[in-house]
Chains A and B, each alone.
Chain A
Amino acid sequence: MIFNLLIADPLSPEGIGVWIAAILTIGIFSFLYKDNPLFKFVEHLYVGVGAGYIVVVAWHNDIATNVIQPLKDGLLAIQNNDPSGWSDVINPIMACLIGSFLFFPVIAPRLRWLTKYAFAFILGAFSGVKVGPVISEKLITQVSSTLNRICATSSECAAQSASINYTPESSALFNAIFILIGVLCGLIYFFFSLEHKGATRIAAKTGILILMIGFGASFGLTVMGRVSLLIDRIQFLLVDWLGLIG
């Protein structure tokens, strides 16, 4: 054990921050015993500080740079008789106007029908940006990669494409077929409009078994991730606050 009894100095500027962070950390951990006023205090503080920070960032990183600054530049350009200034003025104002529609149900209920335009714009644009890349990267590439893996186990097949590397290992063919069966059976399991009987039932059953291995792996990785979060907080308390570890 390495004891280094240098508890963070509460009278130094850095030390005050460490002590406040430590008290807030313990406040959250107190919930593990039972719900209490200290936990409620830190919980509400977290919500408030988090919300405030988001507004600050949205202002500085988006409104200030993508609205205020172009507006200033546009007005200056108009003053100098440059017609390109008009787009720099009109576009940010129009975007802010559409964005403000989102608040109308609260601030101007009579005009709440305008909110639909804002939602329609957001959802339409977001949906449109997804279509092409999803087809390419989530469908075509994934299917072709599954089949390429089988092709890679044959030297004649692999030679036909520069992107496929021949893998001669005996396990490669087993793994490639396992993946193909896993993907196909997994998809069949989710095909609920087809009755799962006969060969379909066997495929769906195989699919769910392979899916369960995947979910188990995810659970193991999730445990790993969550435990990491706890280790970090305890390291903070032991190292930065109490100085119990050198």
Chain B
Amino acid sequence: MSNRGPLAVAFIAGMLMIGDYFLDWGPLNSYAEWVQKYYIIIAAFAIVLGVASLFKLHLGKLKRKEDGWRYSIVTFFGFFAMIVTGLFMTSGDLTGTKHPWNAWLYTNVQLPLGATMFSLLAFFIASAAYRAFRARSLEATLLLLAACLVMLGQVPILTGGVFESLPEIKQWILDIPNMASKRAIMIGVGLGMMSTALKIIFGIERTYLGGSEE
């Protein structure tokens, strides 16, 4: 199946948005607003697509009774608990306000689970720091030195003498060398982003369409 249609859609949508930024012309701006309104609705479907893929994965696990299939029941239980309290136990019709149990589930189940899951990273970063961070070269030594100075300067627990200037040293590292390196990366990323965006709009970049048709 030819890709000309989708490439034309990408070109029109992209050029409308570029034109909207550079030109102040009523008809163009209103078409760009039309693209924006459509985008916001289509993006909701894209979000739900991820959830649908998850659904499919766990349903398959249940059907084939794969290893750990019982845990998929837990996933569905959590999923439907949120859906029922959020969509079907609303005040009024389907578009009414969510039931208070939905907020309760969020505060007492989702929030602690999410927060704790991410807090595990503190342990792994400590373990990685011990096992893997070695001053093997000048570059690695500079990296570790900068990291230690920033950590010590952020919450100054060591005080007195030379340690008094740790916060200033930390701030200088963040304001000058860190800022310079991030700026260089930002400029490079900006150039790359711009070229990729233009390649997508002009149809040079087509991998998102899949296949090898013209």
Residues of chain A whose beta carbon lies under 8 Å from any beta carbon of chain B: 16-18, 20-22, 24-25, 28-29, 31-32, 40-56, 58-60, 62-64, 66-69, 91-92, 94-96, 98-100, 102-103, 106, 113, 116-135, 138-139, 142-143, 146, 175, 178-179, 181-187, 189-190, 207-224, 226-227, 229-230, 232-233, 236
Contact = CB atoms under 8 A, between A and B. Distances in A.
B105 to A, nearest CB: 7
B87 A135 contact: no
B201 A128 contact: yes
Contact of B47 (A29, A47, A54, A69): A54
Interface string B120-139: 11110100010000000011
Given A58-B47, A100-B45, A230-B119, A113 B1 contact: yes
Closest 5 CB pairs of A and B: A52-B82, A214-B181, A186-B184, A48-B78, A182-B180
A143 B183 CA distance: 9
A186 B110 contact: no
B118 A229 contact: yes
Contacts of B120: 28-29, 31-32
Nearest to A136: B21
Contacts of B181: 182, 186, 210-211, 213-215
B133 to A, nearest CB: 8
B195 to A, nearest CB: 10
A15 to B, nearest CB: 11
Nearest to B188: A190
Given A28-B113, A119-B209, A128-B18, A49 B79 contact: yes
